Amino acid sequence: MSEVSYPKVQFVEVQAEEAGQRIDNFLLKKLKGVPKSRIYKMLRKGEVRVNKGRVKAEYKIEAADMVRIPPVRVAESKTQVPTALNKVQALEKAIIYEDSRIIVLNKPHGMAVHGGSGMSYGVIEAMRALRPKAPYLELVHRLDRDTSGCLLIAKKRSALRFLHQQLQKKTMTKRYWALVNGQWPKKLKQVDAPLAKNQVKSGERLVRVTEEGKASLTSFRIIETFQSTTLVSAEPITGRTHQIRVHAQYAGCGLVGDPKYGEDAINQKLKTKGLSERLFLHAYSLKFRVSPESKPITVEAPLPQPLENTLDYLRAGNSLGD
C-alpha cells in the first residue's frame, strides 16, 4: 500500500476561480489521495485555519482567503486507475468537444461516471488519471452506467457554476435516442408524472411513479416506427434518476434492453437474434452556453454501432415482438 505525503505546512491563497466552494471540497482537491475522514478530522481539530481562524466543513471560501493546511501523511487505500487499460485510454478518443473550460465525452455504455457501488473508478477518476496535470476536472451532470452519449465535464469551477445554473433554470437542452417497446401514442408529446426512489428487498434501487414523488417532466417525439417498436427522441425537462426509462414504462412503452423497466420477452429476443442486449438509450445531443457571453453550442454524439445494428435489423422488416 503506497503512502500519500504532504510533509510541510502549506499556506494557500484562494483564487477567484476557486471561490464559493466548501472548504472540505477545496481541501479534497488540494490533498489528492487523502481520505475524507482525515480531512474532516483536520477541520474538527482546528488544524486547518482560514485567515488564522478555525472554520467548519461547510464554510465557503472566498477569493483572497489564506488557508493554512497542516502536514499530512496517510496510507493510500484508494484504487489507482490503470491508465494502460484500453477502456481508460479510449476515453481520450471519445472526446467530441473540448475548449479551455469544458470537455464533452461520448461516454461508453457500461462505464459508470464515477466510482462507488462496487466500481473502483469511473469516467471522472479515469479522466483525472489520464490528465494528471489538469488542475480541475468535475462532472457537470451524470448518465446512468448503462446509458451512452454526451457527458459534460468542467475544467474550471466558474464553468461548472455557470453550467449548473443552466441545468437549474432548465436552459440546457439534453436529448436522447430511445427505442421503446410497442407503438408510441402519436398524441403523447409529454409525460408529466412525479417520481420517487425506493429499494426492493434485494437492495436494488428502483424508481416509480407516485403522487409523493418529485415533479418530473419528459418530452417525447416519434422519430421512426417499426413493427413492434418505436424510435423516439426524449428530452428530460427535469433531471430525475431513471426518468426517461420510468416515464416510457408509465406510457406503456418500456425501453428495449432495459432489465429493470422493460419487457423480458423482447430483451430475450435481442439475445437470440445476436443483437445488442444493452439498454437502448443514448444521449445524442447537448445544447448549452459555455460562458455568459458566448452563443449556444450544440454537441452531438453518434449512435454506437451495436444500436445502429439493432435499427438496421428493424428497418429490414424484422420485429422484436411475438
Catalytic residues: 144
Contact 141, 251 (CB under 8 A): no
Our CA angle for 52, 56, 59, nearest 5°, is 85
Q: What CA–CA distance (Å, rounded) separates 262 from 241?
A: 16
The half-sphere exposure of 44 on its side-chain side, counting CA atoms within 13 A, is 6
Query: Which residue carries 408529446 as its cell?
Result: 189
The half-sphere exposure of 185 on its side-chain side, counting CA atoms within 13 A, is 13
Contact 282, 301 (CB under 8 A): yes
**DSSP helix/strand/coil, 309:** helix
Please write down the long-range contacts of 94-98, taking CB distance under 8 Å and 24 or more positions apart.
96/150, 96/299, 96/300, 96/301, 97/297, 97/299
Hey, what's the cell of 69? 493546511
Q: What CA–CA distance (Å, rounded) separates 233 from 163?
A: 23
Q: What CA–CA distance (Å, rounded) separates 157 from 137?
A: 9
Dihedral pair phi/psi, residue 6, rounded to 5°:
-125, 85
Contact 68, 10 (CB under 8 A): yes
If we measure between CA atoms, which residue out of 245, 309, 294 comes closest to residue 102? 294
If we measure between CA atoms, which residue out of 111, 136, 137, 143 comes closest to residue 124? 137
Contact 215, 196 (CB under 8 A): no
